[in-house]
């Protein structure tokens, strides 16, 4: 008989694509995923899986190149850099109009209510609305207004929502933490991309952060210029041509000098890495908070299996790295499950 798994999918921006690889490996081993709780990208992937549409979602995100991702950026400089209507509109097309109580397995999406300063669990109602609220990353996506509540990313209070599955009566709880600070031996697999596309996308992301706040008209003009330049460049470049030099994936080496600064734990502090923009600064701060909170959640409710994805493998908003992150999630899940199963024998 298959072992029933309660799966917990944490928040972590673009690293959430690794959840797909984890799910694939768990299913490959013959486990039965009987319920899911997710936060932010964990809520996105978990909700799509519970709706039985994960293959369609994976096909879509793996088909996106840098220009496609750019076209999904509907700029807003009100309460977030991106309105999210294009991205979440596509997700809505994939999952359809379905309520959480009608999904094939129990599902919980976790969001944060800024108005009342509390954690919100979505266990009934519209699946798409729950996903949108849980994944409203502050500074990146605009919040969701629900009555008198302003809902944003659940990672503000609970980046790894283990509690909703504790009473599920499954054989084991598997949690996927996207904010691990160890696992230094794991690297993203190198999948070549057109260098010109990547350069333009990175420039746009940096522009979103470094120029906030400024007038809406100026923002729209900036985006239009970026889009036109990228389209002109794309017309001259075959998107199937690979870059001559792969993007480096190795982490920066820590300083080894005697006077190099150290953290409270005694580890060397890397002082040559910093935020490239205001948006990057906000998201790095958000990630530091999530990392600390995740450790408290793990200590309070230790899962049977903890799959740790290192947060250094990509930046929070590098949503164009789906193929690499899915492959990495599968690799880490395989190694972690091997260790767990060996211990059980």
Would you call 40 a catalytic residue per the annotation?
yes
Instruction: Indicate the DSSP class of residue 312.
Output: G
| pLDDT given at position 332 | 97
| pLDDT given at position 181 | 87
pLDDT band at residue 261 using 50, 70 and 90 as cut-offs: very low
Query: What are the DSSP calls for 277-295, one per residue?
Result: SHHHHHHHHHHHHHHHHHH
Range picked from 87-101, 229-243, 247-261, 274-288 for highest mean pLDDT: 87-101
pLDDT band at residue 203 using 50, 70 and 90 as cut-offs: low
Tokens (6 digits) for 202: 């990175």
Tokens (6 digits) for 61: 């995100």
| pLDDT given at position 79 | 64
Q: Which residue has the tokens 């690293």?
A: 15
Q: Looking at the predicted structure, is the pLDDT value of residue 270 above 50?
A: no
Question: Any residues with CB less than 8 A from the CB of 259 and at least 6 apart, and which?
Answer: none
| pLDDT given at position 18 | 98
| pLDDT per residue as tens digits for the range 167-181 | 999 999 999 999 998
Of 12-16, 44-48, 252-256, give the lowest mean pLDDT range. Answer: 252-256
| pLDDT given at position 265 | 40
In whole numbers, what is the pLDDT of the chain averaged over residues?
Answer: 81
pLDDT band at residue 191 using 50, 70 and 90 as cut-offs: confident
| pLDDT given at position 317 | 78
Catalytic residue among 11, 113, 134, 153: 153
Query: What are the DSSP calls for 142-160, one per residue?
Result: --EEETTEEEEEGGGT-SS
| pLDDT per residue as tens digits for the range 273-285 | 566 667 677 778 8
Rounded CA-CA distance 89/94 in Å is 9
| pLDDT per residue as tens digits for the range 119-177 | 999 999 999 999 999 999 887 788 899 888 999 999 999 999 999 999 999 999 999 99
| pLDDT per residue as tens digits for the range 218-243 | 545 545 555 555 555 444 433 332 33
> b or e along 158-178 (b: 16 or more beta carbons within 10 Å of the residue's beta carbon)?
bbbbbbbbeebebeebbbbbb
Q: Looking at the predicted structure, is the pLDDT value of residue 304 above 70?
A: yes
Question: Any residues with CB less than 8 A from the CB of 74 and at least 6 apart, and which?
Answer: 82, 83, 84, 85, 86
Catalytic residue among 40, 134, 139, 180: 40
Tokens (6 digits) for 318: 């590098």
| pLDDT given at position 106 | 97
| pLDDT given at position 338 | 97
Tokens (6 digits) for 199: 């350069």
Rounded CA-CA distance 126/140 in Å is 23
Question: Any residues with CB less than 8 A from the CB of 222 and at least 6 apart, and which?
Answer: 207, 211
pLDDT band at residue 314 using 50, 70 and 90 as cut-offs: confident
Rounded CA-CA distance 126/309 in Å is 30
Tokens (6 digits) for 37: 């709780």
Between 65 and 14, name the one with better pLDDT.
14
| pLDDT given at position 71 | 80
Tokens (6 digits) for 186: 């794991």
Between 143 and 184, name the one with better pLDDT.
143
Of 42-51, 222-231, 314-323, give the lowest mean pLDDT range. Answer: 222-231
Would you call 304 a catalytic residue per the annotation?
no
The Cα diameter of the chain in Å comes to 64
Q: Looking at the predicted structure, is the pLDDT value of residue 108 above 60?
A: yes
Of 25-39, 194-208, 239-253, 281-295, give the lowest mean pLDDT range. Answer: 239-253
């Amino acid at each position: 008989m298959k072992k029933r798994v309660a799966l917990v999918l944490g928040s972590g921006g673009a690293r959430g694509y690794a959840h797909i690889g984890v799910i694939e490996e768990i299913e490959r081993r013959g486990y039965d995923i009987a319920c899911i709780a997710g936060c932010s990208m964990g809520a996105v992937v978990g909700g799509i899986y519970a709706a039985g549409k994960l293959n369609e979602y994976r096909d879509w995100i793996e088909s996106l190149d840098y220009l496609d991702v750019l076209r999904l950026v509907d700029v807003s400089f009100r309460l977030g850099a991106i309105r999210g209507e294009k991205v979440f509109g596509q997700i809505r097309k994939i999952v359809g109009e379905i309520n959480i109580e009608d999904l094939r397995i129990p599902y919980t999406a976790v969001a944060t209510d800024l108005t009342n300063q509390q954690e919100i669990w979505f266990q009934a109602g519209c699946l798409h609305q729950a996903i949108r609220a849980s994944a409203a990353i502050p500074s990146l996506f605009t919040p969701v207004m629900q009555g008198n509540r302003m809902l944003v990313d659940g990672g503000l209070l609970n980046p790894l929502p283990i509690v909703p599955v504790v009473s599920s009566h499954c054989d084991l709880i598997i949690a996927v933490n996207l904010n691990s600070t160890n696992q230094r031996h794991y690297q993203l697999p190198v999948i070549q991309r057109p260098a010109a596309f990547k350069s333009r996308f990175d420039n746009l992301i940096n522009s979103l952060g470094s120029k906030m706040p400024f007038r809406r008209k100026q923002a729209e003009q900036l985006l239009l210029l970026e889009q036109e330049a990228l389209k002109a460049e794309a017309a001259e470049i075959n998107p199937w041509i690979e870059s001559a030099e792969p993007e480096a994936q190795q982490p920066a080496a820590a300083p080894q000098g005697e006077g190099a600064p150290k953290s409270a734990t005694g580890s060397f502090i890397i002082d040559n890495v910093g935020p490239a923009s205001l948006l990057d600064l906000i998201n790095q701060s958000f990630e530091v908070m999530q990392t600390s909170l995740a450790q408290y959640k793990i200590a309070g409710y230790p899962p049977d299996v903890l799959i740790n994805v290192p947060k250094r493998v990509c930046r929070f908003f590098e949503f164009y790295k789906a193929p690499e992150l899915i492959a990495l999630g599968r690799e880490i899940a395989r190694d972690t499950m091997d260790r767990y199963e060996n211990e059980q024998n």
